[in-house]
Amino acid sequence: MGGDEGEGDQKGGFAETGQGTIVYWLLLGVSIGFGLLTKYTMALFYPCAFLFLLLSKEQRNILLTRGPAIAFITSLVVFSPVILWNAGNDWVTFRHTAGQIHIEEGFAISLSSFLEFLGSQFGVITPLLFVLILISLWRLRRDREGNFLFWFSIPVLTFFLLKSIQAKVQANWALPGYITGIAAFSAFYVKGFFTAGRGKKILIAAAVSLSILVTAVAHYPSLLRLPVAVDPTSRLDGWKELGNEVTGLYEQMSQNRPVFIFSDRYQITSQLAFYVKGHPVTYCVNLGRRMNQYDLWPGFSSFLHYDAIFVRSGDKDVPKAIAAAFGKVEKKVISAYTKKRVKIRDYSIFLCYDFKGLREEKQETY
Task: Let me know whether 148 and 240 are in one domain.
Answer: no
- Residue 82: predicted pLDDT: 95
- 3-class secondary structure per residue, the chain: CCCCCCHHHHCCCCCCCCHHHHHHHHHHHHHHHHHHHHCHHHHHHHHHHHHHHHCCCCCHHHHHCCHHHHHHHHHHHHHHHHHHHHHCCCCHHHHHHHHHCCHHHCCCCCHHHHHHHHHHHHHHHCHHHHHHHHHHHHHHCCCHHHHHHHHCCHHHHHHHHHHHHHCCCCHHHHCHHHHHHHHHHHHHHHCCHHHCCHHHHHHHHHHHHHHHHHHHHHHCHHHHCCCCCCCHHHHHCCHHHHHHHHHHHHHHHCCCCCEEEEECCHHHHHHHHHHCCCCCCEEECCCCCCCCHHHHCCCCCCCCCCEEEEEEECCCCCCHHHHHCEEEEEEEEEEEECCCCCEEEEEEEEEEEEECCCCCCCCCCC
Residues 132 and 64 reside in one and the same domain: no
- Using pLDDT thresholds of 50, 70 and 90, give the confidence band for residue 10: very low
Least confident of 170-174, 230-234, 327-331: 230-234
Give the model's pLDDT for residue 105.
61
Beta carbons of 207 and 126 less than 8 angstroms apart: yes
Whether 126 and 198 share a structural domain: yes
Q: What is the pLDDT of residue 222?
A: 74
Q: Which domain holds residue 157?
A: 103-219
Are residues 87 and 135 located together in one domain of the fold? no
The 10s digit of each residue's pLDDT in 299-357 is 999 999 999 999 999 999 999 999 999 999 999 999 998 877 889 999 999 999 999 99
Classify residue 224: in a domain, yes or no.
no
pLDDT at 21: 87
Residue 19: pLDDT band with limits 50, 70, 90: low
270 in the same domain as 249? yes
The CA distance from 247 to 254, in Å, is: 10
Q: Which residue has the higher pLDDT, 267 or 102?
A: 267
Of 83, 100, 117, which residue sits at a domain end?
100
Please report, rounded to a whole number, the percentage of residues in the chain having pLDDT higher than 70: 90
pLDDT (mean) for 152-172? 91
Same domain, 113 and 202: yes
Give the pairing of strands 259-263 and 282-284: parallel
**Is 230 among the domain residues?**
no
Same domain, 240 and 351: yes
Same domain, yes or no, for 278 and 301? Answer: yes
Mean pLDDT of 158-174: 89
The pLDDT of residue 100:
67
Q: Please write the tens of the pLDDT for every residue from 115-130.
A: 999 999 988 899 999 9
- In whole numbers, what is the pLDDT of the chain averaged over residues? 88
Does 167 map to a domain? yes
How many domains, the chain?
3
pLDDT greater at residue 33 or residue 230: 33
CA distance 109 to 113: 9
Residue 364, pLDDT score: 65
Q: Is the pLDDT of residue 203 over 50?
A: yes
The yes-or-no verdict on residue 211 having pLDDT over 70 is yes
CA neighbor of 71 nearest in space, from 33, 36, 20, 16: 33
- Calculate mean pLDDT across residues 233-248: 91
Per the model's pLDDT, the better-predicted residue between 8 and 264 turns out to be: 264
Q: What is the mean pLDDT of residues 129-144?
A: 94
Of residues 164 and 261, more confidence is placed in 261
